[in-house]
Amino acid sequence: MKSLTRHLLDRLPLAKVVLMSFSFVMDHASLDQLFEEHRGKAYTRKLSFSTLVYLIRDALISRQEGTRRHLERAKANQQLPASVVAFYGKLARLPLEVSLAFVRHGAAQVAQLLPPDSPRWIAPASLAEFDLCALDGKVVKHVKHRLKATRAVRGKLQGAKLQLAQDMRSGLALAMNCHEDADCNEVRLTQGLLQQLHARRQEQLDGGRTATLRPLLCTSDRQYSDLSCPRLFQENSGHFLIRHNRTLGFEPDPQRPAQEGTDSRGRRFKQEWGWAGKQGRNDRLYVRRITLFRPELDDDDVILLTDLLDAVRYPAVDLLELYLQRWGIERMFQAVTEVFDLRHLIGTTPKAAIFQSALCFVLYNILQVLRSYVAADAQLPVAEVSGEKLFDDVRDQLGAWALLAEPADTIEQLFPALPAAELQSQLRTRLRWRPLWRKSKPRTRPSQRGRTIHVKGGRSSVFKLLEAEKQRKKREKHKLARR
């Protein structure tokens, strides 16, 4: 059986590199140590934290069967040392601090595997002195009505509120903050998230993984446009680039005239300097406001506020390009929801939903490593590689491995984990480009605004609709011919 397992892993390169990467990022010893440091009043009897993580990982990746069926199979194979009920109970009570530390630790480990010559996005040269970070919030949805207090409730249930920080160059999820109440305003979580980011950066400096500590430039949407969040971003020599919310007043500086120009797409912008906040407030901020005019969209100009006041050193064109890349965190949320199926939650308590989300973000980071090496092999931008198509093949190969391989033999093959340099070499050797992984071109569909048709009885025949469309086109053609 050992030779069969070794042969399977050689024939399934995607499965092997994913298992090797996960054993490096989340080995059993580091997981149990992480739980011990952040567990609070939680404890371990039969079911260790590392076993819990690997069982949830396999359930998320396989998706061929329900979670309970997967746990029953694991129990039969002696991979689950406790009962299925005990598994759900431990997941439901998992401390929030463990979930947050799990994301931070996973991000720090994954960052060691990224190829240095293949960033997801190359920032403008004027921003090379900064660590670029995007912040945004997400609500965990699609909670099942299984708890006694929720069974009689009709309507959709929300599990928790998350706030994530993403590295804009690599696309990795760096840190997470959370609240069990999904209705919590994400702005309240900003201070805790920034503290995690600064602590992580200090650990990298103390551990020798980075030579110097660059200033942090945070980019966020208009929800963070008040007088408190910018000051939080400025702590520890940081800076901010925030979309301006019109509820926050702005008073131009009469001593500094406005300037105009065009961006890389030929659109007109104006930059001006002044004070954010109402006149007379002691906590007003002196900022630079950049307005990108978009006349094709009604009342939807992009207005940015920043404390980078030097327009020569930090051109407005570069800052507009930076804010455009903030959309990467939205794409990350979409990928975690759809690719890793965060719409199907294993647990139904807020703590369970938060930890499943944390594990999904770690899996997302590992997938970004695979995308980077595949893109480097094909000499393509990372954005050209479809994470969803790549993960579909990963899931198929992992399913074949799980069905045929012996778990004990796999552990013997993959543990202890390889050092980072050797694992990078394995990833570079085994991950080869396949044209099937190229991302599909976006389909531009015409807007249907104003053309909604409500049919009688709530249903209609496709044949009748097609025939009506043919007749409409004939009438339009006839009208044109008469003109």
DSSP secondary structure letters along 150-171: TTT--S-B--EEEEEEEETTT-
131 strand-pairing partners: 216
Of residues 141, 118, 122, the one with CA closest to residue 132:
122
Could you tell me if 417 and 20 are in contact, meaning their C-beta atoms sit under 8 angstroms apart?
yes
Give CA 121 to chain center in angstroms: 15
What is the model's pTM? 0.87
Write down the pLDDT at residue 357: 93
Write down the pLDDT at residue 265: 86
Sign for the CA dihedral angle at 293, 295, 297, 298 comes to positive
Backbone angles phi, psi at 148, to 5 degrees: -60, -40
Report in angstroms the alpha-carbon separations of 120 from 50, 81, 202, 438.
Answer: 31, 41, 24, 15
Q: Give the Cα separation of 199 and 85 in Å (integer).
A: 37
Half-sphere exposure of 108 (CA within 13 A, CB side): 20
DSSP class per residue in 91-128: HHT--HHHHHHHHHHHHHHHHTTS-TT--S----GGGT
Q: And the tokens for 379?
A: 């000499």
Could you tell me if 382 and 437 are in contact, meaning their C-beta atoms sit under 8 angstroms apart?
no
291 strand-pairing partners: 270, 303
Per-residue buried b or exposed e for 383-408, using 16+ beta carbons within 10 Å of the residue's own CB: eebbbebbbeebbebbbebbeebeee
Question: Domain residue spans in the chain?
Answer: 2-221+326-435
Could you tell me if 26 and 53 are in contact, meaning their C-beta atoms sit under 8 angstroms apart?
yes
Write down the pLDDT at residue 412: 63
The amino acid at residue 32 is D
Write down the pLDDT at residue 433: 92
Q: Give the Cα separation of 11 and 426 in Å (integer).
A: 14
Write down the pLDDT at residue 299: 61
Of the chain, the end-to-end C-alpha distance in Å amounts to 80
Could you tell me if 305 and 287 are in contact, meaning their C-beta atoms sit under 8 angstroms apart?
yes
143 strand-pairing partners: 157
Q: Residue 95 burial by CB count (10 A; 0-12/13-18/19+): exposed, middle or buried?
A: middle
Q: Give the Cα separation of 243 and 305 in Å (integer).
A: 6
Q: And the tokens for 81?
A: 């040392």
Q: State the Cα torsion 356-357-361-367 to the nearest 10°.
A: 60
Q: Residue 417 burial by CB count (10 A; 0-12/13-18/19+): exposed, middle or buried?
A: buried
Taking only the tens of pLDDT, the chain with its 483 residues reads: 456 667 777 788 888 888 889 889 988 899 999 999 999 988 888 999 999 998 888 887 766 567 888 888 888 888 899 999 999 999 999 999 999 999 999 999 999 999 877 677 889 999 999 999 999 999 999 888 888 888 888 888 898 999 999 999 999 999 999 999 999 999 999 999 999 999 888 887 777 777 678 999 999 999 999 889 999 999 999 999 999 998 899 999 999 999 999 988 889 999 999 999 888 788 899 999 999 998 876 668 899 999 999 999 999 999 999 999 999 999 999 888 888 777 788 888 999 999 999 999 999 999 999 999 999 998 888 888 898 899 888 888 887 877 776 666 666 666 678 888 999 998 999 899 999 999 887 765 555 455 667 777 778 888 988 898 899 899 988 888 886
Backbone angles phi, psi at 63, to 5 degrees: 60, 10
Q: Give the Cα separation of 154 and 344 in Å (integer).
A: 18
Q: Give the Cα separation of 415 and 20 in Å (integer).
A: 8
User: What residues have CB less than 8 Å from 22, skipping those under 6 apart?
Assistant: 57, 366
Q: And the tokens for 371?
A: 């995308």
Write down the pLDDT at residue 410: 65
Q: Give the Cα separation of 336 and 80 in Å (integer).
A: 26
Per-residue buried b or exposed e for 430-453, using 16+ beta carbons within 10 Å of the residue's own CB: ebebeeebebeeeeeeeeeeeeee
